[in-house]
Structure 1
Amino acid sequence: SENAAKLAAMGVLPRREKLLQLRRAAAASGVSVKEHPVANNNPDRAFYDLWSAGTPETADPYYLEQTKKKLVKRPDRLNEKPSVLPAIEVIAPGGSYNPDFFSHQELLREAHEVEVKKQKAEERLARQLAVNEDKATEESTFKEQVEGLIEEEEIEPKEPEGDTEDTVIGPTATQEKKTEKQRKKEKAKRIKDLQRKAERQVIDKQQQLFQLRSIHTSVKKQEQRTKMRQAQRKAQQEAQKSMPRRLSRLKFQTPDLDVQLSDELASSLRSLKPEGSILKDRFKSLQKRNIIEPRERARFKRKYKLKYSEKRAFREIE
């Protein structure tokens, strides 16, 4: 059955099924099956323009895909960009060669905040790695010196007096058989409890009718909270689109801001000193836009150890 389903999906049908489809198509169009097909030289026969730009696809779609005449549809997810950030980001106004005073001060403030965060992170790491050793006091020093000089008496545990044999106190409890009167009384009690519970449920349902307004208010508040959470989640997802993702074991390190102090600003373009590197900037941009993963420089490792040898000329000089 699975093989037949696969063949049917590919357009391969048994002869009986094909004949049945032909009969149905003929009945729908009003043409008899026994009629001969229309001749090629019949002017009433359907035709297509030979010199048109496109050709009609009369073959089966599966046949066209297998013969590479019909391209497979490209998934939409492959057309999505990995990040919404632009390829080239415009720097802040304070990064100009002749910036405005307030713009330059704003850029200096941002650079200062970055340095403060780095310093706090280093201090936090130093506090975590610091060894907290207990400092010696006079009391601890005295105890350490006296230890071993005073002999402590060994105290032997005393055994409890009395018989060690287990004794059973009191007679064993025996379960007496209930009488018929007791069983009837318990049955009537159970029935009354069930009736009381059913009546209580009916009363609760009747009371809920008077609480419709409060229930409606609580449901409305719940819907508002749900909408608020959905909006927050959507905002977080939109914010994450512009953030670099974790593509490898290394995290993306934001490059330092290229900023000059107030006394380092150039008066003209001729005296301007170039800063930064275009290659590094493009490399960091590719990492930030999730096109390549963050990397670190490979460490140089020698395959063989260095071998020192003295030449004959050096020996003769000595």
Structure 2
Amino acid sequence: MEANVPRKKSRIAKNKKRAWRKVDITDVEEFLEDERLQERTGGLVAEKSDAELFTLEKKAPLIDEEEPVPKKKRRKEPKELKCYSHLLPDPKIKLARKPQPVRNIRDKRPPHVKEKLNSGVKTQKEIRAEEQRKLVKERKQKKDRTKGSIQVASYDLWGDEPEKKEDPFAKPPVKRPKRKATSDLPAVQVPPSGASYNPDYEDYQELLLKAHEIEEKKLEKELKLQKFVREIQNVDTKTLEKTWLSEMSEGLKNHEVENEQDEGDAINTEDSDRISVNPPVRRESKKTKTQRNKEKRKKNLEKLKAQEKSEKTKANEIFRLKTMKAEIDEREADLQRRKQVRRQKWQAQGLKTRKLGRLKFEEPLLEIKLSDELEGSLRRLKPEGNLFVDRMKSLEKRNIMEPRQEAKKYRKYKRKTVIKRSHKV
């Protein structure tokens, strides 16, 4: 009984997306697939004409039963692979055409320009351009002719310098930027005349005096240090202890006083918070209206007096013209003097050595020969100083290089190798 019960048809709302799966669309898919296959294999059959679909056979069929003479089979050319056919363009797809150039362009030049061109009269610019082209052509031909030949000097090698011909097409040389020198001092300073191997007596004495002054300054410094050392050595132990204690306790008493002052200030601030800063206002001290008016009048009078005084001084300044002129001249002279001093300072800066590094520049030792060391002949003279040190000092003095110190030489001891007792065993 249950098997014969008719089943209810499931009602599906076709406007919902879930109903799409239950609709049969196989015939539509077959039709679309067939169309795609036709497009791939030469186009749609429905759109093609009869001439494209059918061909007329013009050859007559063989009536005789005799077999035809077999022709020589030509060697078939290898067919292109199908995979390469996909690379070829599809004949059904229409390609966009390139825009064709416009042929019939209207001449928009003014009539007077056309007449000038047709007349054949050349402008100065065109004439110059033609001359330039000829020059370039001649130069190129000349270069080609003298390509393999050996060049011979066309002027006297030992005579005066030949005149340089100006090239009209040569580019102007690039100007080198001007760089300000770091110092006005010359690169190689000429030594004094007294340093010669056979010097003049006066020049030699001047050089000796300069060297003597340098040595005296060195001795003064050494003596000063020795004196300071002796003073420290002669001081008693008790005085040393006292000075040490005074130095160590420096600021302790002051610190105690400061603490007391801070405490007093704190108390004062607490009192000031309770009591107001301004004095109390009393009825007797309050000014009346008449008093205020009097004060106002007094102020106005003082103002008027000040104005009159300033006007009088301005009027009297006409009689002070001479003194004013003298003052202006004096001021200008003072400004000129200051300007001169500034200029001299600025000029002197070019000869000074600036501090470039952490070390200060020290003048090199004066190279001098004593009177018993002087030799009359240059061959017997022993050289003084070092050229390398001289050049380095010159670079330092001219602010090109910072002052440097000679590197300290540390002695490297040979490394000791000791075998442990445990390893010996």
Shorter chain as denominator, the TM-score bin is: 0.5 to 0.7
How large is the RMSD of aligned CA atoms in angstroms?
4.0
Partner of 1:15: none
Match 1:84 to one of 180, 184, 187: 184
Partner of 2:417: 309
Task: Give the count of matched residue pairs.
Answer: 234
**Alpha-carbon distance, 1:194 to partner:** 1.0
CA distance in 2, matches of 1:268, 1:306: 50
Q: Does 1:100 align with 2:200?
A: yes
Aligned CA distance change for structure 1 residues 128 and 183 (closer, same or farther; 3 Å): farther
Partner of 1:212: 321
State the TM-score, normalizing by the size of structure 1: 0.61
Match 2:169 to one of 54, 62, 65: 54
Aligned residue type for 2:415:
K
CA distance in 1, matches of 2:402, 2:383: 28
Partner of 2:355: 246
Aligned CA distance change for structure 1 residues 220 and 87 (closer, same or farther; 3 Å): same
Q: Does 1:284 align with 2:393?
A: yes
CA displacement, residues 29-88 of structure 1 (integer Å, 9 cap, x when unaligned): xxxx9759998x98316255354543699xxxxxxxxxxxx97x7653xx2221222222
Partner of 2:309: 200
CA distance in 2, matches of 1:196, 1:128: 70
**Alpha-carbon distance, 1:261 to partner:** 1.3
Partner of 1:232: 341
Structure 2 stretches of 5 or more lacking a match? 1-107, 137-166, 243-270, 420-425
CA distance in 1, matches of 2:317, 2:393: 63
CA distance in 2, matches of 1:223, 1:309: 84
CA displacement, residues 290-318 of structure 1 (integer Å, 9 cap, x when unaligned): 2222111233468x98412389xxxxxxx
Structure 1 stretches of 5 or more lacking a match? 1-32, 58-69, 142-165, 312-318
Aligned residue type for 1:84:
D
Q: Does the residue aligned with 1:234 lie in a helix, a strand or coil?
A: helix
CA distance in 2, matches of 1:34, 1:199: 84
**Alpha-carbon distance, 1:95 to partner:** 0.6
Aligned residue type for 1:109:
L
CA displacement, residues 222-280 of structure 1 (integer Å, 9 cap, x when unaligned): 21111111111111211121122222111211111111111211132232111111121
Which structure is higher in RCO with an 8 Å CA cutoff and minimum separation 6? 1
1:1-318 pair list within 5 angstroms: 43-44=122-123, 46=125, 47-48=128-129, 49=132, 51=136, 53-54=168-169, 75-76=177-178, 79-123=179-223, 131=232, 135=236, 173-175=281-283, 176-300=285-409, 306-309=414-417
Aligned CA distance change for structure 1 residues 205 and 123 (closer, same or farther; 3 Å): farther
CA distance in 2, matches of 1:179, 1:172: 18
Aligned residue type for 1:201:
S
Aligned residue type for 1:118:
K
Q: Does the residue aligned with 2:340 lie in a helix, a strand or coil?
A: helix
**Alpha-carbon distance, 1:134 to partner:** 6.0
CA displacement, residues 92-116 of structure 1 (integer Å, 9 cap, x when unaligned): 1111111111111110001111222
Aligned residue type for 1:98:
N
CA distance in 2, matches of 1:35, 1:118: 96
Identity %: 35
**Alpha-carbon distance, 1:172 to partner:** 5.5
**Alpha-carbon distance, 1:208 to partner:** 2.0
Q: Does the residue aligned with 1:199 lie in a helix, a strand or coil?
A: helix
Partner of 1:148: none
Q: Does the residue aligned with 1:275 lie in a helix, a strand or coil?
A: coil
CA distance in 1, matches of 2:418, 2:349: 62
Aligned CA distance change for structure 1 residues 215 and 121 (closer, same or farther; 3 Å): farther
**Alpha-carbon distance, 1:126 to partner:** 6.1
CA distance in 2, matches of 1:134, 1:35: 114
Structure showing greater radius of gyration is: 2
CA distance in 2, matches of 1:263, 1:192: 94
Aligned CA distance change for structure 1 residues 132 and 199 (closer, same or farther; 3 Å): farther
CA distance in 1, matches of 2:336, 2:187: 34
Aligned residue type for 2:122:
P
